[in-house]
Amino acid sequence: MAEAHSAVAFSFSITHEGWDVNFDREVLHLVWASGIRSWKKRLARFKNNVRNGIFPAPLQSLWAMMGIVLALRYGNNSFVKCTDVILQYLPGTSFIWHLVSCFILSLVFWLILIYIIRYTFKLLLMYKGWMYESRGGKKVSLTTKLWSIGVKLLSSKSKPLLYSYQGSLPKLPLPAVKDTMKRYLNSVRPLMNDTEYESMVKLANEFENGIAVKLQRYLWLKSWWSSNYVSDWWEEYVYLRSRTPLIVNSNFYGTDAIMLHSTSIQSARAAMIIWQCLQYRRLIERQELEPIRVQGMVPLCSWQYERIFNTTRVPGAVSDKIVHYNDSRHIVVYHAGRYFKVIIYSQNRILHPCEIEVQIQSILKNTDKPYVGEEKVAALTAADRTHWANTRTKFFFKGINRQSLDAIEKAAFVVVLDEVPYEYDPENSKKLDEFGRILMTGKGYDRWFDKSFTLCIGSNGRVGFNAEHSWADAAVMSHLWEFIIFNEAAYSGADAPVMGHLWEHFLCGDLVLGYQENGHVKGVPEIEPPKPIRLQWNLEPVLEAIEKSYEVSLELLNDVDLRILVFNTYGKGFMKTARVSPDAFIQMALQLAYYRDAGKFSLTYEASMTRLFREGRTETVRPCTLQSSAWVKSMLDPNISLNERITLLREACATHQRGYQDAMCGKGIDRHLFCLYVVSKYLEVESPFLNQVLSEPWRLSTSQTPHGQTTQFDLKKFPNCISAGGGFGPVANDGYGVSYIIAGENLIFFHISSKKSSPHTDSNRFAVRITEALNDMKTLYEDWEKSTKKLSS
């Protein structure tokens, strides 16, 4: 065993003949190489921190300032006096010390100038007027034009690192209670009758003029003191303190690019995806990953990228915690009920894909039986958090159970080699539904739900992932997934399923990447890769706890009703001709579909991001508005004309778009009310208004999966290289969870989830409703255009 080998790497003893020293040169070399690698990473991190600290000014500007000071020093008497003051505190007055005094003075001037530039840049990033003007065909104001010039001038002097903008991002602004109350009351008006609404207005006024004044004062202090007044509380109280199972309720999944199938060999695809993940991790560690900038100018916060890898959620009796490790030299692979520790570094480098494939093949060929309880041990991570915390404390605090648990939690990520294929057949929608269900829940015990993400590899080479939600939002995982899918198709020129031809010409230094004609990874191993190490367990005392968790996870996964709708009648292309936001267009379709399905309107959740601010995560957009409900009703009223319906639809889309923009700019409703609620609990004061607001169920929870986050990704060149998106479980027991991705000009994927136990929901029925709504909206526009042409002629 490798552990035993390490233990005897060095031994020292004293005998009657003298000292006896024994050591293993190979192991000591590994220790030395590990230390060198660690120090290189520290130096690189220090260098990057310096570059980030002075951004947007380049480091070379210091020498330019030094030259200016020297020129002024020998041509201006006032500068002679400045350097003479500094010279008094130096140990000499020679020419060298004169140069030192000039350097110190130039350093002071340089730091002052950098501070002014950074603060000016931060002030520019506080301006959000550009967002409201750059969309919807509005004329761009002179203020926005000048702002744009200023941002470009200050940010174009040097290439930014991943975290270069962090110090310049503004803080999330705290809205006034009065404004939040006004937005909230507008959002609930279509959901209440007159009596209910009057009662809610009364509660809101009492809250605004009463306890809200005190709560807002404390929240203002937090917003001033912390980098983000929402994110830490959101992470703790919404995610980490939740005791509900992670499976279905919290974790989300992502699917493969279903229009492509690069290889059907499981070990080859697994090796390539693992290698790409490690390359992405290296880009993050070196901060070489390009930060995302809206419209190529305005940066988004990159804080969440820190925890993609080497991260796990650790259960606690009251609250969980997120643990991130600075480095990890291994991954953990699960196959046929067994866990293997796989070293992915050797000879001070990342293993090549062909070498990783050798490791994966050895696992697939391994015929050892699982230890007692090993197959289902991950069910503990799926079920109740307190139960898992107590079990962990009791049975995993020492011995081989602790060692194996450490190996999993300290791994870069977990890989699952499933024994079933992930299938897609345009003629059989159930296969894609099953594809999504496998990624979401697996068998209830074959995903380590605590890890930041788990790579899932089907027996036919298709892939997906299951991600824990507390450490980051879906957009961050989408960026990683987009990087992987694009790079697998890059330089191949392929835009259709072609076996064995992807990656054919992609070079990484002298490393040729791709798949051979037989489906295996290209290349010949240069070294013998480290053999996978079987993790050992003593789980007989834990069997009862494991089975209890498995029963909970099994009940949840059996209750999931998942439907993945592939809508290919039209996509973004037609929506653009309708002159409305594609996202608003789809949200209106969902409102119409839900009203037809449930016979009423419901509180609707759409996630938007607040990453324009430091450590921003998400805010809620409420798509069910007075305008959207008026349009939906008009679609069911035969007496409403086409012109009226079009007018109402455009008003509804404009209102939705404005609400989305407000949410992105820190003018949302729900995060502010949530934080006020947290403060009230700290102060032990009750608010009937907040209690009612935060108990309202989200029966329609929606989210758009972003794409195009990397400048390398060109959908027009590779139209089939986009992922089919991903999904999540329903938030309410009697509601729907809908995730969608606008995959191109003529393609949209909808991931629709609900619970079979609810008599009010049916995912397949809702998919039909969505299809009907989208078709009706297209017909509406086409009929209106025909009538308009007739009138004009």
From the list 469, 672, 707, 751, the catalytic residue is 469
Tokens representing 440? 């979401």
The continuous run of DSSP H or E covering 333 comes out as strand 330-335
Tokens representing 214? 């005190």
Class of residue 418 by CB neighbours under 10 A (exposed 0-12, middle 13-18, buried 19+): buried
- Name the pairing type of β-strands 414-417 and 453-457: parallel
Tokens representing 719? 């139209």
SS3 of 742, please?
A: strand
**What whole-number distance in Å separates Cα of residue 401 and Cα of residue 392?**
10
**What whole-number distance in Å separates Cα of residue 760 and Cα of residue 762?**
7
469 a catalytic residue: yes
Largest CA distance in the chain: 114
Residue 519: which of 286, 357, 633 has the closest Cα? Answer: 357
Query: 319-324 long-range contacts, Cβ below 8 Å, gap at least 24?
Result: 319/236, 319/240, 319/241, 320/239, 320/240, 320/241, 320/385, 320/389, 320/470, 321/240, 322/235, 322/240, 322/470, 322/471, 323/409, 324/471
**What whole-number distance in Å separates Cα of residue 632 and Cα of residue 648?**
9
User: Would you say 625 and 655 are in contact if contact means Cβ atoms under 8 Å apart?
Assistant: yes
**Residues paired with 726 in a beta bridge:** 254
Tokens representing 137? 């065909």
**Residues paired with 294 in a beta bridge:** 298
In degrees to the nearest 10, what's the CA dihedral of 327, 331, 332, 334? 150
**What whole-number distance in Å separates Cα of residue 279 and Cα of residue 347?**
17
**What whole-number distance in Å separates Cα of residue 513 and Cα of residue 461?**
17
- Name the pairing type of β-strands 726-727 and 252-255: antiparallel
Instruction: For 193-285, list the strands marked E by DSSP.
Output: 252-255
**What whole-number distance in Å separates Cα of residue 129 and Cα of residue 747?**
32
Catalytic residues: 469
